[in-house]
């Protein structure tokens, strides 16, 4: 389904359909539906969220790895950074590391936020961890497009006929606009998960450093090695964090070390480091506020009076 609701290329609209997932997993659609129902009932999947392409909001996003050796200072820093405008995610790892992702409109905006984060964490030289890459956009979204995004924001799998009824559009119009936004990469949909609701499962990342002689096939050898535990992978923004990073699931901390050691034996790999998640928090109220402001701006420019908020 995609654990990260963004990417360099547009997302396929069918990735959330049980029939598509079943085909990828080589199981029956009813099996997929049953598993999804259990994950939703347990709270592991909290909801299905829609992220608009950040380019439509006029912002870029970057994550930095800070090192805070003192646990109390790290906890205090996590509390202090929450009011930062445009905060997206905070990944708290076991040990000194914590990863903070923020949006910014220009370099001076990013620099200001990094100064604040340095003050809170005590780390004035963080490492750029990753950039939230999203496809280029060539078309501005219309008011109707934004209304559809808003209607789907925390209910990404709701029937589009229901969205049409709510917005006063035909199901055909909603479907046409939805498909176009997905094809363009104007929005992404993914499950918002709560790892604490999966007892016995530990999320972690392995950072892989390749040898100078390694060829382009090294990442594929790594992914094949961990295909039964694989969740996601990407290339870190800084070479100091390895050549690529893989998000995996383990049964225990000893399992993590065994998997790290296994990675070290893969041809072309010089070093493997592990980052184990202690917590994973998202802060996206600013996206809702940005969508609302965009709709108001479009209303002002068109002379259309704002619609009254529907009940519920």
Tens digits of pLDDT across the chain (312 residues) = 877 888 889 998 888 899 999 999 999 999 999 999 999 999 989 999 999 999 999 999 999 999 999 999 999 999 999 999 999 999 999 999 999 999 999 999 999 999 999 999 999 999 999 998 899 999 999 999 999 999 999 999 999 999 999 999 999 999 999 999 999 999 999 999 887 787 788 889 999 999 999 988 999 999 999 998 998 898 898 888 989 999 999 998 899 999 999 999 999 999 999 999 988 889 989 999 999 999 999 998 876 555 544 433
Q: Which of 155, 133, 134 is nearest to 47 (CA)?
A: 155
**Cα distance between residue 277 and residue 5, in whole Å:** 19
Residue 176: per-residue pLDDT: 97
Residue 310: per-residue pLDDT: 40
Give me 189's structure tokens.
Answer: 């949909």
Residue 303: per-residue pLDDT: 63
Q: Which residues contact 167 (CB under 8 A, 6 or more apart)?
A: 144, 147, 148, 151, 174
Residue 302: per-residue pLDDT: 76
Answer positive or negative: Cα dihedral of 159, 165, 166, 170: positive
Q: Which of 145, 75, 95 is nearest to 294 (CA)?
A: 145
Is residue 188 situated within a structural domain? no
Residue 3: per-residue pLDDT: 77
Helix or strand or coil: residue 242?
coil
Angle of CA points 211, 215, 220, to nearest 5°: 100
- Could you tell me the CATH number of the domain that includes residue 231? 3.30.70.920
Give me 15's structure tokens.
Answer: 């990735």
**Cα distance between residue 3 and residue 286, in whole Å:** 21
Is residue 204 situated within a structural domain? yes
Is residue 235 situated within a structural domain? yes
Burial class from Cβ neighbours inside 10 Å (0-12, 13-18, 19+) for residue 305 reads exposed
**Cα distance between residue 271 and residue 208, in whole Å:** 6
Residue 305: per-residue pLDDT: 53
Domain residue limits at 208: 196-280
Please state the domain count of the chain.
1
**Cα distance between residue 82 and residue 52, in whole Å:** 21
**Cα distance between residue 184 and residue 162, in whole Å:** 23
Residue 245: per-residue pLDDT: 94
Is residue 60 situated within a structural domain? no
Angle of CA points 137, 140, 143, to nearest 5°: 140
Q: Give the DSSP H or E segment for 297.
A: helix 285-302
Is residue 302 situated within a structural domain? no
**Cα distance between residue 205 and residue 285, in whole Å:** 27
Is residue 128 situated within a structural domain? no
Residue 311: per-residue pLDDT: 38
Residue 304: per-residue pLDDT: 58
**Cα distance between residue 51 and residue 49, in whole Å:** 7
**Cα distance between residue 136 and residue 59, in whole Å:** 12
Give me 287's structure tokens.
Answer: 């996206």
Is residue 211 situated within a structural domain? yes
**Cα distance between residue 264 and residue 157, in whole Å:** 40
Is residue 48 situated within a structural domain? no
């Amino acid at each position: 389904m995609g654990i990260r609701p963004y990417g360099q290329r547009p997302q396929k609209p069918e990735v959330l359909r049980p029939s598509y997932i079943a085909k990828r997993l080589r199981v029956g659609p009813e099996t997929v539906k049953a598993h999804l129902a259990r994950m939703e009932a347990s709270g592991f999947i909290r909801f299905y969220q829609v992220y608009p392409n950040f380019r439509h909001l006029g912002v870029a996003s970057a994550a930095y790895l800070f090192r805070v050796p003192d646990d109390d200072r790290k906890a205090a820093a996590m509390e202090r950074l929450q009011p930062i405008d445009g905060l997206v995610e905070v990944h708290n790892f076991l040990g000194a590391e914590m990863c903070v992702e923020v949006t910014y409109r220009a370099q001076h905006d990013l620099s200001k936020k990094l100064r604040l984060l340095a003050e809170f964490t005590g780390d004035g030289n963080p490492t750029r961890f990753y950039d939230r890459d999203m496809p280029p956009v060539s078309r501005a979204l219309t008011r109707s497009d934004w209304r559809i995004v808003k209607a789907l924001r925390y209910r990404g799998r709701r029937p589009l006929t229901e969205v049409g009824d709510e917005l006063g559009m035909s199901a055909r119009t909603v479907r046409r606009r939805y498909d176009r936004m997905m094809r363009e990469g104007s929005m992404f949909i993914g499950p918002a998960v709560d790892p604490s609701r999966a007892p016995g499962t530990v999320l972690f990342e392995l950072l892989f450093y390749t040898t100078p002689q390694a060829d382009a096939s090294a990442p594929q050898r790594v992914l094949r090695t961990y295909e039964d535990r694989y969740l996601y992978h990407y290339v870190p923004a800084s070479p100091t964090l390895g050549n690529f990073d893989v998000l995996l699931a383990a049964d225990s901390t000893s399992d993590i070390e065994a998997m790290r050691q296994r990675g070290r034996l893969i041809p072309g790999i010089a070093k493997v480091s592990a980052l184990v998640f202690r917590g994973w928090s998202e802060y996206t109220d600013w996206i809702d506020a940005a969508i609302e402001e965009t709709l108001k701006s479009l209303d002002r420019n068109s002379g259309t009076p704002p619609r009254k908020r529907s009940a519920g």
